[in-house]
Chains A and B, each alone.
Chain A
Amino acid sequence: MKNLGLIIRREFLTRVRKPSFIILTLLAPILMAAVMFLPAYLATLPGDEKVITILDESYLMDIYDKGNEEISFKYLNPKDFDFETAKALVEGREDYAFVHVPVSEGGDPDFIARNIRVFRAGDLSLSVENYLERSLEKYIQKEKLKAEGVDPEIVARTKTQVNLRIINTEEGRETENATLAKMGIGYVAAFAIYLFIFIYGAQIMRGVIEEKTNRIMELMVSSIRPFELMMGKILGIGALALLQFVIWIGLGLLIFTIFTAVFIDPSLSSGTAVQMEGMNALPDNAAFDIYRSLQSIPFTKVLLSFLYYFFGGYLLYGALFAAIGSAVDKETDSQQFMLPLTIPLILSLIVILRALDNPDGSLAVWMSMIPLTSPLVMMARVPFDVPTWQLLLSMSILAITFFGSVWLAAKIYRVGILMYGKKPTFKELYRWTRYKN
């Protein structure tokens, strides 16, 4: 056990001192912040205006409708231009697009709707298309209302928006619904586990391959048991992962605080802050709603489960990555063995999207029990308050499988580290597990 400590220490220290680790650890939160803040920040700047010239021969649109911040409508007077001259004029300019609203003989709004055309040199951006469609639908609807003898003003006045307040009555408690926040937490937590398994699992594998190619393995196993060497590497790199994770969370919070305090114009802050959280379509009071509803999320449970699945998943996959590393001489040879590990991980990510929508569906429940997918899938479910028995069952299965995978990996590892040359097949790996020492 003393040796295990020494190995963990070496694996941790040699990696933590690497410039690449320090740079990645410090830079990643800054980059992430940039990815999150930059669009929001840029949105506050006067952006590239997209000028759309409209020839509205039906006098359908309101010429005082100038579009939005992004899109600027400019109208041509149908008295001065016909379609051909207007199109020729627009083509000579650098307008984003040209819209032609034709005239209808009988004033049939549906005919107009079907025959509106947009001209653009290149592809039309999806947001512009949506905005144009919505605007035009509104005007056509107005025409139809007029035709039916309804004053559009009345319609506008009576328009109502309903925000449902959903109360979760499960287990005798009444809590505010926080589906969106739960989905966010579940997804971020599961994705973090996914990311760390991949990044650090690959590091374990690479470490083992390096020890093989540097031919130090034989010397090492003459001093310590292969199992200690393998576990030392997995745990040492695991400590590194935890450190990096803690630094990222810390730095992330720090950057977030500084950025909101310094760079965001206070007059914009309420609206923009919501955008920061990546939910830009919410109305202003949503931030408060979310805050209030967060109280319904079982944070302690989420945090403890996260730590458990983070490490459980890491150890389970880490041991298998170590076994793969031991079986090959070159990283390029590892591809075929990686496949059985990448498939469940990627499958988990896909299932999570369903699980977030329906956390108690049978797919989600089953996948949160199967050990190779449970770290991610169960983590996505936990914010939705999973029944305790399910959580405990899933955790127990994971623990048992973890020991199983370490046992299996150790058997492959023990043989693999001394094998050089030919790339083994799955069949050979199986045979190795049956070798006596």
Chain B
Amino acid sequence: MIEARGIRKTYGSHQALKGLDLSIKEGSIFGLLGPNGAGKTTFIRILNQILAPDEGEVLIKGKALSGKHISRIGYLPEERGLYPKMKIGEQLLYLAQLKGLHKSQAKERIAYWLKRFELTDRVQTKVEELSKGLAQKVQFIASVIHEPELLILDEPFTGFDPVNTEHIKQEILRLREEGATIIFSTHRMESVEELCEDIVLINKGSRLLGGPLHEVKAQYKSGWYQVETEKEWQIPNGKNWQVEKLNAQLGGRAYRIHPEQNSRAELLESLLASGLIEFREEIPSLNEIFIQSTRNA
């Protein structure tokens, strides 16, 4: 769906993006990750054509990004904002029309979405009279009202309570089912692990790592296993493995073991002999990967 090649963007002397490459599969949820100031917002603004790159190109379905793509992109900016004096209905109608919807079509969709978010009776309410959570919902509706093929969500869950976060999450998944490609920019990693298939981590304007989430995680495996056995377990003879004792959870003996490479079979064999209860490979959380790789960078 999206192919970005060698994107550079400089503000004065500050290099916001230093030749960023990434590609996003159609119909996927793509995690655009990075610490503050990494260049996420600059990249998003380039996709939205708020900014133009100094160098490099962005292709959408093989075609260079152009004005006609604007109506096919939906955007939920990190900095939320609506016209406070406008009524919800008017506001959504205005934003939908700006995205090229006809008035009658826009009204139908507004009715549909307000119903989904249980806001139908608030259509005449001014935005300034809404609670923060409700205003966020209106903002979410504004970003999807024109049924965009590409939906860019910048920190979509900030400002939502857990119930509404779940609600929005379900909506995002449903939109993906309906064929939308979703870019999900955040630094909240737990939601990324739940939603994203592919990720890219950028820092200081360049790509640090990326790919399918499970591959990224596989790369960052530490090689440690957590196990629990019924009986005392011993390191097989002649092996130079690292071992730490842990508190047993299931009434047996618990260990943290780092075998040599390609010795998983041997490890399992020895464990089975000691009556294996639990065997688990330590897979780093995305959060750990994030912290580790940005620190190293």
Is B273's beta carbon under 8 Å from chain A? no
Is B97's beta carbon under 8 Å from chain A? yes
Q: Hey, which chain A residues are within 8 Å of B86, CB to CB?
A: 14
Task: Report the interface size class on chain B.
Answer: 20 to 34
Complex Cα gap A211–B82 (Å)? 8
Complex Cα gap A7–B95 (Å)? 10
Interface residues in B87-125 (C-beta closer than 8 Å to A)? 94-95, 97-99
Which residue from chain A places its CB closest to the CB of B152 in the assembled complex? A222
Q: A6 to B94, Cβ gap below 8 A?
A: yes
Q: B81 to A218, Cβ gap below 8 A?
A: yes
Complex Cα gap A220–B84 (Å)? 14
Is B250's beta carbon under 8 Å from chain A? no
Is B73's beta carbon under 8 Å from chain A? yes
Q: Hey, which chain B residues are within 8 Å of A214, CB to CB?
A: 81-84
When each residue 54-85 of chain B gets 1 if its CB lies under 8 Å from chain A and 0 otherwise, what string results?
A: 10000000000000001001010101111111
Is A164's beta carbon under 8 Å from chain B? no
Which of A219, A222, A418, A435 has the largest count of B CB atoms less than 10 A from its CB?
A: A222
Q: A221 to B85, Cβ gap below 8 A?
A: no
Output the least CB separation between B102 and chain A (Å). Answer: 11
When each residue 216-251 of chain A gets 1 if its CB lies under 8 Å from chain B and 0 otherwise, what string results?
A: 111111111000000000000000000000000000
Q: A436 to B70, Cβ gap below 8 A?
A: no
Q: Hey, which chain B residues are within 8 Å of A14, CB to CB?
A: 83, 85-86
Known A-B contacts A14-B86, A214-B82, A216-B82; the reply to A437 vs B77 at CB < 8 A is no
Q: Hey, which chain B residues are within 8 Å of A435, CB to CB?
A: 11
Complex Cα gap A219–B79 (Å)? 9
Known A-B contacts A222-B50, A222-B70, A436-B54; the reply to A3 vs B82 at CB < 8 A is no
Q: B52 to A436, Cβ gap below 8 A?
A: yes
Q: 7 nearest interchain CB pairs?
A: A215-B81, A437-B52, A216-B81, A222-B48, A215-B79, A218-B77, A223-B98
Which residue from chain B places its CB closest to the CB of A214 in the assembled complex? B81
Q: Hey, which chain B residues are within 8 Å of A222, CB to CB?
A: 48-50, 70, 73, 75, 77
Task: Report the interface size class on chain A.
Answer: 20 to 34
When each residue 38-52 of chain A gets 1 if its CB lies under 8 Å from chain B and 0 otherwise, what string results?
A: 000000000000000
**What residues of chain A have their CB less than 8 Å away from a CB belonging to chain B?**
3, 6-7, 10, 14, 211, 214-224, 418, 431, 435-437
By secondary structure, the B interface counts as: loop
Complex Cα gap A177–B95 (Å)? 58
Complex Cα gap A164–B142 (Å)? 72
Q: A437 to B70, Cβ gap below 8 A?
A: no
Q: B79 to A218, Cβ gap below 8 A?
A: yes
Which residue from chain A places its CB closest to the CB of B80 in the assembled complex? A215
Complex Cα gap A223–B11 (Å)? 23
Q: Hey, which chain A residues are within 8 Å of B85, CB to CB?
A: 14
Q: A10 to B54, Cβ gap below 8 A?
A: no
Which residue from chain B places its CB closest to the CB of A213 in the assembled complex? B81
Which residue from chain A places its CB closest to the CB of B71 in the assembled complex? A223
Q: A418 to B50, Cβ gap below 8 A?
A: yes
Q: B50 to A218, Cβ gap below 8 A?
A: yes
Complex Cα gap A14–B11 (Å)? 36
Q: A219 to B12, Cβ gap below 8 A?
A: no
Q: B48 to A6, Cβ gap below 8 A?
A: no
Q: Hey, which chain B residues are within 8 Å of A431, CB to CB?
A: 12
Is B51's beta carbon under 8 Å from chain A? yes
Selected from B11, B50, B79, B84, the residue in CB contact (under 8 A) with A221 is B50
Known A-B contacts A6-B97, A431-B12, A437-B51; the reply to A219 vs B142 at CB < 8 A is yes
Additional pairs, 5, CB under 8 Å, beyond known A6-B94, A223-B95, A431-B12: A211-B83, A215-B81, A219-B75, A221-B50, A435-B11
Complex Cα gap A215–B80 (Å)? 6
Complex Cα gap A418–B16 (Å)? 15
Complex Cα gap A120–B94 (Å)? 69
Which residue from chain A places its CB closest to the CB of B70 in the assembled complex? A223
Q: Hey, which chain A residues are within 8 Å of B139, CB to CB?
A: 219
Complex Cα gap A214–B127 (Å)? 11
Complex Cα gap A230–B84 (Å)? 19
Q: Hey, which chain A residues are within 8 Å of B142, CB to CB?
A: 219
| Between-chain CB contacts (< 8 Å), 13 pairs | A14-B85, A215-B80, A216-B81, A216-B83, A217-B81, A218-B75, A218-B79, A219-B139, A219-B142, A222-B77, A418-B45, A435-B11, A436-B54
Q: Hey, which chain A residues are within 8 Å of B73, CB to CB?
A: 222
Output the least CB separation between A415 and chain B (Å). Answer: 9
Complex Cα gap A436–B142 (Å)? 29
Q: B81 to A224, Cβ gap below 8 A?
A: no
Complex Cα gap A7–B153 (Å)? 25
Q: Hey, which chain A residues are within 8 Å of B50, CB to CB?
A: 218, 221-222, 418
Selected from A6, A217, A218, A418, the residue in CB contact (under 8 A) with B98 is A6
Complex Cα gap A222–B76 (Å)? 10
Complex Cα gap A429–B185 (Å)? 31
Interface residues in B142-193 (C-beta closer than 8 Å to A)? 142-143
Complex Cα gap A394–B85 (Å)? 41
Q: Hey, which chain A residues are within 8 Å of B81, CB to CB?
A: 214-219
Output the least CB separation between A11 and chain B (Å). Answer: 11
Complex Cα gap A3–B71 (Å)? 12
Output the least CB separation between A317 and chain B (Å). Answer: 25
Which residue from chain A places its CB closest to the CB of B46 in the assembled complex? A437
Output the least CB separation between A79 and chain B (Å). Answer: 79
Output the least CB separation between B167 and chain A (Å). Answer: 21
Complex Cα gap A219–B138 (Å)? 13
Which of A3, A214, A219 has the largest count of B CB atoms less than 10 A from its CB?
A: A219
Q: A223 to B99, Cβ gap below 8 A?
A: yes
Output the least CB separation between A144 and chain B (Å). Answer: 75
Output the least CB separation between A174 and chain B (Å). Answer: 59
Q: Hey, which chain B residues are within 8 Å of A3, CB to CB?
A: 98
Complex Cα gap A224–B49 (Å)? 9
Q: Hey, which chain B residues are within 8 Å of A219, CB to CB?
A: 75, 77, 81-82, 95, 139, 142-143
Complex Cα gap A437–B8 (Å)? 13
Interface residues in B124-143 (C-beta closer than 8 Å to A)? 139, 142-143
Q: Hey, which chain B residues are within 8 Å of A215, CB to CB?
A: 77, 79-81
Complex Cα gap A437–B98 (Å)? 21
Complex Cα gap A437–B55 (Å)? 12
Output the least CB separation between A104 and chain B (Å). Answer: 77
Complex Cα gap A215–B85 (Å)? 14
Output the least CB separation between A224 and chain B (Å). Answer: 6
